[in-house]
């Protein structure tokens, strides 16, 4: 075995080491061989034995570390990257299927202006109480004296006196500009630029407000409630009186 | 197991720490040098050492942070040499290791003087 063959064999035996360490070792052995004129195999012994000396104590560099269950690290890395990519793709698809279809704060969205049969309109001139139970509802305000709604769910809207009940449904609702009270239990509400003062009593709910340039005076009485990113303006004419328990109140963002 | 084999195993074990101390000392005395020079220096003071032992030892001491190294081209041309110097850790270790070794030697002397 000549010195070049020795270096090649040593390089192979050191393949578990990082490249920088490998290069330093091989260069140093080459340098020694050039200066001393020695035959490496005679002076250093078998390259595999020399490599063992270098690998002693190198956990990542042991021959066992190069292969796990007979499969190289490259295969494991490839499988790992593939799994991560599949998880990311699945998450993207899940988001696409379950995520909000559009930005609720966009009051000009096509979904809101379409006149499809699924929109229903109920004339409404009196004060209004909304009772929400396990719903996901987005509220808008319009100039008409009616409640215009588009709901998906097994139980339709129910009217009892001045109370409009929404139960286990997902709705987009336009409200008239009348005095309004909202009672919510285990529901998700988005208020898009409220145009009247509201009295709200929410429990175990998530309330988000899209201000859309409007200013509100917030009067919040909260118990075990997390409140984020909503500013109260003392000079605002529209008041949001909120009594909250075990809920989250925040600014709406898409 | 034959006596020679047993002795060689013991010697390898006993020399490991001792060689590290000697290499540190050579590098201190020479204010840094390269592998072949360390090898020849140790041989000249009666401590011959195999190349296959010295270079991995230097590499391990470097990895442990006892030494620093740099590649220096020889003044007369040729392949660059890897020069080693004592690191700050190596400089702190050396006197402690020397003291421990001297104490061991004294203890050994005392033991041999026991009757």
Residue scoring higher pLDDT (A73 or B66): B66
| ipTM attached to this prediction | 0.85
Which of A24, A38, A54 comes nearest B82 by C-beta?
Answer: A24
Residue B13 has pLDDT above 60, yes or no: yes
Cβ contacts of B20 on chain A, cutoff 8 Å: none
Put simply, whether B15 touches A (Cβ < 8 Å) is: no
* pLDDT computed for residue A71 by the predictor: 59
* pLDDT computed for residue A116 by the predictor: 61
Cβ contacts of A57 on chain B, cutoff 8 Å: 60
Contact between A45 and B52 using a beta-carbon 8 Å cutoff: yes
Nearest 5°: CA angle at B57, between A60 and A64? 20
A37-46, A76-85, A109-118, A157-166: which range is least confident on average?
A109-118
pLDDT digits (tens, 9 = 90+) for A229-247: 888 888 999 999 999 999 9
Contact between B71 and A25 using a beta-carbon 8 Å cutoff: no
* pLDDT computed for residue A20 by the predictor: 87
* pLDDT computed for residue A253 by the predictor: 82
Residues 6+ apart with CB under 8 A from A137: A166, A169, A170, A171, A172, A173, A187, A188, A189, A190
pLDDT digits (tens, 9 = 90+) for B68-102: 999 988 777 778 899 999 999 999 999 999 999 99
* pLDDT computed for residue A60 by the predictor: 44
Query: Is residue A63 within 8 Å of A25, Cβ to Cβ?
Result: no
Section A149-154 average pLDDT: 84
Six-digit token pair at B59? 């590499």
pLDDT digits (tens, 9 = 90+) for A123-147: 999 999 999 998 989 999 999 999 9
Average pLDDT value over all residues in chain B: 91
Enter the pTM of the model.
0.47
Q: Which B positions 17-56 lie with beta carbon below 8 A of chain A?
A: 34-36, 50-53, 55-56
Cβ contacts of B50 on chain A, cutoff 8 Å: 43-45
Residue scoring higher pLDDT (A156 or A75): A75
Hey, is B9 helix, strand or coil?
A: helix
Run of H or E including B99: helix B88-113
Run of H or E including A219: strand A217-223
Mutate to test the interface with A, among B69, B79, B80, B84 (most CBs of A within 10 A): B79
Put simply, whether B78 touches A (Cβ < 8 Å) is: yes
């Amino acid at each position: 075995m000549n010195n070049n063959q020795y270096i090649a064999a040593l390089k192979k035996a050191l393949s578990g080491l990082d490249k920088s360490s490998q290069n330093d070792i091989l260069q140093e052995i080459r340098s020694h061989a050039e200066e001393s004129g020695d035959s490496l195999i005679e002076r250093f012994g078998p390259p595999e034995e020399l490599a063992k000396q270098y690998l002693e104590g190198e956990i990542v560099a042991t021959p066992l570390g190069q292969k796990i269950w007979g499969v190289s690290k490259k295969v494991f890395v490839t499988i790992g990257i593939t799994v991560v990519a599949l998880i990311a793709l699945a998450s993207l698809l899940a988001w696409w299927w379950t995520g909000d279809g559009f930005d609720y704060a966009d009051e000009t969205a096509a979904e809101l202006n379409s006149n499809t049969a699924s929109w229903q309109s109920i004339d409404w001139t009196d004060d209004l109480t909304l009772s929400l139970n396990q719903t996901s509802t987005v509220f808008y305000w319009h100039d008409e004296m009616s409640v215009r709604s588009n709901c998906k769910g097994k139980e339709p809207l129910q009217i009892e006196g001045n109370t409009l009940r929404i139960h286990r449904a997902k709705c987009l609702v336009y409200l008239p500009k009348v005095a309004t009270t909202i009672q919510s239990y285990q529901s998700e509400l988005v208020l898009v630029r409220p145009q009247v003062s509201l009295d709200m009593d929410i429990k175990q709910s998530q309330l988000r407000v899209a201000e859309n340039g409007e200013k509100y005076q917030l009067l919040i009485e909260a118990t075990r409630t997390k409140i984020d990113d909503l500013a109260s303006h003392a000079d605002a004419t529209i008041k949001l009186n909120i009594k909250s328990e075990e809920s989250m109140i925040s600014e709406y963002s898409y | 197991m034959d006596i020679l084999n047993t002795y060689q195993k013991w010697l390898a074990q006993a020399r490991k720490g001792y060689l590290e101390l000697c290499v540190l000392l050579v590098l201190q005395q020479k204010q840094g040098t390269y592998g072949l020079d360390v090898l020849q220096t140790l041989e000249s003071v009666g401590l011959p050492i195999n190349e296959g032992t010295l270079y991995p030892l230097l590499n391990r001491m470097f990895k442990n942070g006892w030494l620093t190294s740099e590649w220096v081209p020889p003044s007369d041309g040729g392949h660059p040499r890897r020069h080693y110097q004592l690191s700050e850790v190596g400089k702190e270790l050396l006197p402690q290791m020397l003291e421990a070794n001297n104490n061991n030697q004294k203890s050994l002397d005392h033991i041999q003087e026991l009757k």
